[in-house]
Amino acid sequence: MQKRQLGKNGPILSEIGLGTWAMGGPGIFGWGPQDDRESISAIHQALELGINWIDTAAAYGLGHSE
């Protein structure tokens, strides 16, 4: 996985990130029911591939994706 520095002094991040909005589930800002086991498996696979930039927010499933 190729990585770059964020800004001049920021952390080194993978060029590809993992978005977790859909993992938020059926909450107000979710995408509908999701299987937590599949979500956790996707996160583990992303980490194994060298992805270290994971986009999450308190609004994604009202914090469920976090």
Catalytic residue among 20, 23, 46, 60: 60
Cβ–Cβ < 8 Å for 65, 23: yes
Q: Do 51 and 18 meet the contact criterion of CB atoms below 8 Å apart?
A: yes
Look up 50 and say whether it is catalytic.
no
Structural tokens at position 29:
């800002």
Give the three-state DSSP class for 5.
strand
Which residues are the active-site residues? 60
